[in-house]
A = this chain, B = another copy of it.
Amino acid sequence: MVVAALSALAQESRLAIFRLLVQAGPAGLSAGRIAESLAVPSSSLSFHLKELSRADLLLSRQDGRFVIYSANFDAMNRLIAYMTENCCGGEPCGTDDVAGGVCCEEARA
């Protein structure tokens, strides 16, 4: 659900975790490395990782003693698509002058 995803991201630590993993790419990072990078106590980190996973924003896999987390890029792209869906009713709306803007893509093309 979209609200769950936004909720998950609407929190300082979790947003930092997510961005870290977006930048890390599909290779991901172990929980320990995330904790180290962001200086979050492991119990808190675990709580946040669970929230992000519950919202389907993270993927995880076991690698020996480590659990490797990575961003779910598909889910992220779907989230963005949902927020911008049918922007301006599909009409050109004069907001396409923002660098990297995703609004009014159809109109732009």
Interface of A with B (CB < 8 Å)?
2-3, 6-7, 9-12, 15, 18-19, 22-26, 73-74, 76-78, 80-89, 91, 93-95, 98-103, 105
- Assuming the contacts A10-B3, A15-B2, A83-B19, asked whether A25 and B91 have C-beta atoms less than 8 A apart, the reply is yes
- Assuming the contacts A3-B15, A15-B2, asked whether A103 and B83 have C-beta atoms less than 8 A apart, the reply is no
How many copies of this chain does one complex carry? 2
Partner of A76, one of B3, B9, B83, B94: B83
Residues of chain B within 8 A (CB-CB) of A99 are 81
Residues of chain B within 8 A (CB-CB) of A83 are 9, 18-19, 22, 76, 80
Cα distance A69–B84 when bound, in Å? 17
